[in-house]
Structure 1
Amino acid sequence: ISREMLQNNPVVAKIRSSLVKRTLSDLKKKLSKDRKSYESFWVNFGPVLKEGIYEDFEKKESLLEISLFKNSKSKELISLDEYVEGMGKKQKDIYFMTGDSYENILNNPSLEGYKSRDINVLILDDPVDSFWTSSTPLYKEKSFKSVTKGLDDLDSFDGKKEKDDKKENKSIDPLVVLLKEQLKDKVKDVRISSRLTDSAVCLVGDDNAMDPQLEKILQQHNQLNQELSLKILEINSDHKLIKKLAKMCTKKDEIVKINKIATMLYEQSKILDGEKPTDPALFSKSLIDTIYSSLD
Structure 2
Amino acid sequence: MSRKPLFEDLLNLPVEEVQATYEGLLNTIKTHEEERKKLFINKRIHSEAIKFAVNKTANPPSLEGNDVSDVIRVAVKEKMDFDVLIAQRDDFVQRMVIPKHRVELNLRQFFERLTQDKHYSEAPSLASELEMFSRFFELQAMFEEYKEHATTLAELRTVRTSLLEHVKTINREDRRLAQELASNSENSRKMRREAGRLRSFLESHANIPTQQLPAPTEELSQRLASGQALSMDEFAAMLEHGGLTDIKSTGEESNTPKRKKAKQRKAAPRRGNIGHGSSNRA
TM-score, normalization by structure 2:
0.19
Higher-Rg member (1/2): 2
Query: More relative contact order in 1 or in 2 (CA 8 Å, sep 6+)?
Result: 2
Higher strand share: 1
Higher helix share: 2
TM-score, normalization by structure 1:
0.18
